[in-house]
Amino acid sequence: MNPLELVRARAGTPFTVRFDGREIEALPGRTVAAVLWSAGVTAWRTTRDGGRPRGVFCGIGVCFDCLVTVDGRPNQRACLVPAEPGADIRTQEGTGHDE
Amino acid sequence: MSERRPVLAVIGAGPAGLAATLAAAARGVRVTLIDSGTQAGGQFYRQPAPGLGARRPQALHHQWRTWERLRTGLDTRLADGRVTHLTDHHVCWVERDSSVEGEPVRDDPAAPGFTVHALLGPEQRESVAIRAHGVLLATGAYEKVLPFPGWTLPGVVTAGGAQALLKGGLTLPGRTAVVAGTGPLLLPVATGLAAAGARVVALVESAGPRDFVRRSRSLAGAPDKLAEGAGYAARLLRHRVSVKARHTVLEAHGVERLESVTVAALGPDGRPRPGTALRLPCDTLAVGHGLLPHTDLADGLGCRLDGPAVRVDDEQRTDVPGVWAAGESTGVGGAALSLAEGHLAGRSAAARLHGTAPDPARRTRAARTRTRLRAFSEGLAGAFAPPAHWAELVTDETVVCRCEEVTAGAVREAVGSLGAGDLRTVKLLTRAGMGWCQGRMCESGVAGVAGCAATPARRLPARPVPLGMLAAPTDDPPPAR
């Protein structure tokens, strides 16, 4: 059993996004966080001071732990932003403004 | 003709906001329903993204028939133009606005109207201002999570967060989960994850059966809720979830992500019982310690708070004329209570905006439901509690403020060596609570570690905003009537 089977999902045509340069498959409507979780990725940010990995925590846009760089724009909340075909998603290092 | 109707801005499209919207729209009010979600439903009725084509979304939900009734009602009102639903609108603050024409709350001329300021999602670079004669706050709640060693590891998520990504994105963070903390939310999260294919190895709840027996009187008033609890128990059994009551998580382990957790039984003094520690391999820990009301918008309007919740009267009016509140923002009590409160608030708002009073005789059923469920949730809130001495388990190295990476040691130093005696001073000395989340995720944790009272912080704007929004003039025309 998986969540898609449980609700008998008939998802739209999958597309690909890039995460740190590698292609991963995405289903339409999923947020960046849901796409990354589905690909087995749980961390996409390193903290400013400790460089520690972070990913989703609250899942509803409150905690800002899941910040990620999408198409060159840092500090996007992965749990809110929908994944778009061809999106270039990158692990955000620190503030995301250092490069 | 419809242009002459008063306008009510309802903020939040969860159970309370939807019930309020339908009640007000049925009584001659134009409603602007403003919500941060891409679809109506809030957290409780969070819907899968349409692109995922779920043909049986109810498999992840409870009280689905109620949702269908709300959804049909909203669709009818959207079609007849009585309700406008603004999705992806993240409200930052609400202010009184004397330029809104008319006499909205006719028994109180001091409340001429309001402007709701919102950022447009998901990018949140542009903002809009929405005018209304009255405001109804149905802003819901967010999760309280107390810190413990390892809680910042990827794979550790809030119980509600795991549920949100499951309901909305139809995805799981891993295959083997532990659900832990305290509170009624843990039950649907554990059964939901299990039904969706995760192996839920344990539900770790710090409350024990005795905590419920002591409150059996208030709990017995809601037999339907007790039956719901029994239903969860049966599902946990069916999914072979090991229920560990009076247990707590001591630590989450892992290097780059979660690999296991250590749990232990709690003794009569609320401290872990020596020799009971047990390590459970898992890649997901869904953890929560209850819910906290979103009160920022109410606080910004000057509404009086009662502890962590917005204070309301029998009609769900706040003490600010023209402002109502309903649902979790007025005290956490679940979806059924939110529906009753939303209904009562919508009725009151419609009547008051027309210069009359709501008919008390016709409110009795919703009002009775409200009384009964408030008593029940007070009983529950007393029964569910984190371990009495949880802060002792937070090691000095543990990060307590996730945004600013402030450790428990730094907070203790601020209190012990530097003499901080309240949360505000701790914050100024350590930066705990100064990050992106505006202290929402760490306030309870920092207060516990510091040994201070968790006074609700003032957070306005209610979310980080671009500076341009603060400088921009409001330009949409005020509604006429």
Q: What is the per-residue pLDDT across B175-188, written as a single tens digit (0 to 9) for each?
A: 999 999 999 999 99
Residue B222 lies in a domain: yes
Q: Are residues B163 and B198 in the same domain?
A: yes
Which single residue is written with the structure tokens 């000395």? B429
pLDDT of residue B469: 74
In angstroms, the CA A63 to CA B167 distance is 19
Q: Which of B289, B314, B343 is the last residue of a domain?
A: B289
pLDDT of residue B228: 86
SS3 B229: helix
Please name the residue ranges forming H helices in B80-185.
159-169
Q: Are B93 and B300 in contact (CB under 8 A)?
A: yes
Q: Which of residues 16-35 of A touch B (CB under 8 A)?
A: 27-31, 33-34
Q: CA dist B465 to A64, B96, B442, Å? A: 13, 20, 21
pLDDT of residue B408: 97
In this structure, the number of other CB atoms found within 10 A of the CB of residue A48 comes to: 16
Q: Are residues B75 and B179 in the same domain?
A: no
Q: Is the pLDDT of residue B1 over 60?
A: no
Residue-by-residue pLDDT tens, chain A, 99 positions: 999 999 999 999 999 999 999 999 999 999 999 999 999 999 999 999 999 999 999 999 999 999 999 999 999 999 999 999 999 999 999 888 865
Which residues in chain A have Cβ-Cβ distances shorter than 8 Å to B157? 56-59
Q: What digits encode the pLDDT tens for the residues B4-14?
A: 789 999 999 99
Q: Are B272 and B265 in contact (CB under 8 A)?
A: yes
Amino acid code (one letter) for A60:
I
Q: Are B248 and B263 in contact (CB under 8 A)?
A: yes
CB nearest to A10's CB, from B53, B168, B437:
B53
Kindly tell me the number of DSSP H helices and DSSP E strands found in chain B.
Answer: 14, 22
Residue of B nearest to A62 (CA): B437
pLDDT of residue B88: 95
Q: CA dist B72 to A32, A48, B81, Å? A: 30, 47, 14
Query: Of residues B459 and B44, which shows the higher confidence score?
Result: B44
Q: Which of B358, B381, B415 is the last residue of a domain?
A: B358
Which single residue is written with the structure tokens 């403020």? B401
Nearest residue to B366 (alpha-carbon basis) of B346, B339, B348: B339
pLDDT of residue A95: 85
Q: Are residues B212 and B260 in the same domain?
A: yes
Span B440-469, average pLDDT:
84
Nearest residue to B448 (alpha-carbon basis) of B387, B402, B403, B405: B387
Q: Are residues B250 and B308 in the same domain?
A: no
Which residues in chain B have Cβ-Cβ distances shorter than 8 Å to A54? 152, 154, 402
CB nearest to B160's CB, from A12, A49, A59:
A59
Residue B464 lies in a domain: no
The secondary structure of residue B318, as a DSSP letter, is: -
User: What domains can be seen in chain A, in order of their start residue?
Assistant: 3-93 (3.10.20.440)
Which residues in chain B have Cβ-Cβ distances shorter than 8 Å to A76? 122-123
Percent of chain B, pLDDT > 90? 77
CB pairs under 8 A between A and B: 174
Span B116-124, average pLDDT:
88
What residues form DSSP beta bridges with B278? B263
SS3 A75: strand
Q: What are phi and psi of B447, to 5 degrees?
A: -60, -45
CB contact under 8 Å between A59 and B51, yes or no, is no
Q: Does A38 touch chain B (CB under 8 A)?
A: yes
Kindly tell me the number of DSSP H helices and DSSP E strands found in chain A.
Answer: 2, 8
Residue B460 lies in a domain: no
Please name the residue ranges forming H helices in B103-259.
159-169, 186-195, 209-213, 216-220, 223-238
Which residues in chain B have Cβ-Cβ distances shorter than 8 Å to A10? 53, 55
In angstroms, the CA B432 to CA B295 distance is 20
- Report how many domains make up chain B: 3
Q: Are residues B87 and B122 in the same domain?
A: yes
Nearest residue to B124 (alpha-carbon basis) of B477, B481, B465, B472: B465
Residue B374 lies in a domain: no
Q: Are residues B23 and B137 in the same domain?
A: yes
Cα Dmax for chain A: 44
At residue B2 the predicted structure's pLDDT band, cuts being 50, 70 and 90, is very low
Q: Nearest C-alpha of chain B: how many angstroms from A27? A: 7
Q: Are residues B96 and B155 in the same domain?
A: no
pLDDT of residue B453: 82
CATH code (residue B49): 3.50.50.60
CB contact under 8 Å between B154 and A55, yes or no, is yes
How many angstroms from the chain centroid is the CA of residue B298? Answer: 14
Q: Does A84 touch chain B (CB under 8 A)?
A: no
In this structure, the number of other CB atoms found within 10 A of the CB of residue A68 comes to: 25
Query: Of residues B481 and A75, which shows the higher confidence score?
Result: A75
Which residues in chain A have Cβ-Cβ distances shorter than 8 Å to B161? 56-60, 79
Helix axes B186-195, B159-169, angle to 10 degrees: 40
Residue B221 lies in a domain: yes
Q: What digits encode the pLDDT tens for the residues B395-421?
A: 999 999 999 999 999 999 999 989 888
* Domain range enclosing B133: 2-141+292-358
Query: For the ranges A49-58, B18-27, B93-102, B341-350, which has the lowest average pLDDT?
Result: B93-102
CB nearest to B154's CB, from A2, A54, A82:
A54
Percent of chain B, pLDDT > 70? 93
What residues form DSSP beta bridges with B96? B114
CB contact under 8 Å between A9 and B169, yes or no, is no
Residue B368 lies in a domain: no
CB contact under 8 Å between A28 and B49, yes or no, is yes
CB contact under 8 Å between A30 and B169, yes or no, is yes
Residue B193 lies in a domain: yes
Burial class (CB in 10 A: 0-12, 13-18, 19+), A17: buried
Q: Are residues B111 and B150 in the same domain?
A: no
pLDDT of residue A77: 95
Which residues in chain A have Cβ-Cβ distances shorter than 8 Å to B195? 1, 6
Q: Are residues B167 and B126 in the same domain?
A: no
Q: Are residues B111 and B50 in the same domain?
A: yes
pLDDT of residue B226: 82
Strand intervals (E) in B246-350: 247-254, 258-265, 278-281, 284-288, 291-293, 305-306, 309-310, 323-325
CB contact under 8 Å between B154 and A53, yes or no, is yes
In this structure, the number of other CB atoms found within 10 A of the CB of residue B158 comes to: 29
* A interface test, pick of B46, B52, B284, B404 with most A CB neighbours within 10 Å: B52
CB contact under 8 Å between B52 and A43, yes or no, is no
Q: Are residues B169 and B284 in the same domain?
A: yes
User: Sign of the CA dihedral B43, B44, B49, B50?
Assistant: negative
Helix axes B64-79, B15-25, angle to 10 degrees: 40
The secondary structure of residue B10, as a DSSP letter, is: E
Amino acid code (one letter) for B407:
T
Residue B455 lies in a domain: no
Query: Of residues B463 and B415, which shows the higher confidence score?
Result: B415
Q: What digits encode the pLDDT tens for the residues B276-330?
A: 999 999 999 999 999 999 999 999 999 999 989 999 999 999 999 999 999 999 9
Q: Are residues B153 and B278 in the same domain?
A: yes
- Tell me whether strands B176-181 and B309-310 are parallel, antiparallel or unpaired: unpaired
Please name the residue ranges forming H helices in chain A.
3-6, 32-38
